[in-house]
Amino acid sequence: MKHVAKKRFGQNFLTDQDIISSLIDAINPKTEQVIVEIGPGLGALTRPLLKKINHLHVVEIDRDIVSWMQNEYKKSTITIHNIDALKFEFSTLGKNIRVVGNLPYNISTPILFHLLENLASIEDMHFMLQKEVVERMVAMPSTPAYGRLSVMLQYHLAMEYLITVPPEAFEPAPKVESAFVRCVPHAALPYPAKNVQHFAKIVMAAFGQRRKTLRNTLKGLLDDAEFIALNINPQLRAENLSLAQFVSISNYLV
């Protein structure tokens, strides 16, 4: 199929066969597993996945690609969900589903947060993303990439940076490097928050003004004595705090 990539959908189609093979090996699909692919595009991952499993679900917003897919694949082997991934309820596919995809870079973070709402149904996730985003996802405290995304995703997920992918592996080539990441929901949360919504608000407030100290970003919530009681220096910035420390602040305030 000759398809012109659409900027509004953030389309960059993976074409490097060696890299595709590496990604499939990393995913390691098994015959009977329920796998859903976000943004199947022209089939870079779809075709090799269908060689490994009996049936595949795909979520694709582009009607032109959907029309092409309907003629390209056997209906018995694929279910096409023509919908925005941000509106798709992954939990409707049952339990222990595996999610894969080359995510549109322009909405990758909202998709990740949407998937957090469906984690009870998800076994694991493997995604191609902008390298900078993957670096932020797996970043440790007191490093430049560490931020709200790091804390919120690490609260829910164990993540592993797998493969760096150069721009020339895609058509059209993006202006940035890409990376492949594995995300696995924690079997048991390492640092449970009493109220996850409150925890999220604390993290957002702390990172709202990155260069300011916690004394300023959380002013009105904690005084210096309370920070010290939590064994946290109020002169630190949000980027210096561990996930455990963010949870301890939230749990103290709930």
pLDDT by residue (tens digit) across 169-194? 998 888 899 999 999 999 999 999 99
Burial classification of residue 39, based on how many CB atoms lie within 10 Å of its CB (0-12 exposed, 13-18 middle, 19 or more buried): buried
Residue 79 sits in which domain range?
A: 7-185
How far out from the chain centre does Cα 222 lie? Answer: 32
Note the pLDDT tens digit of each residue in 36-66.
Answer: 999 998 899 999 999 999 999 999 998 989 9
Query: Predicted confidence band at 5 (pLDDT cuts at 50, 70, 90)?
Result: very low
> Which residues, 6 or more positions from 115, have their beta carbon under 8 angstroms from its beta carbon?
90, 99, 122, 125
pTM of the model: 0.91
- 191 part of a folded domain: no
pLDDT, tens digit, 9 for 90 and up, residues 99-155: 999 888 888 999 999 999 999 999 999 999 999 999 999 999 999 999 999 999 999
138 and 109 in a common domain: yes
Where a domain ends, among 185, 204, 228? 185
* CATH number of the domain enclosing 209: 1.10.8.100
Q: What is the pLDDT of residue 210?
A: 84
Q: Distance between CA atoms of 24 and 40, rounded to whole angstroms? A: 14
Task: Please tell me the distance from the alpha carbon of residue 34 to that of residue 29, in angstroms, as a whole number.
Answer: 9
Domains: count for the chain: 2
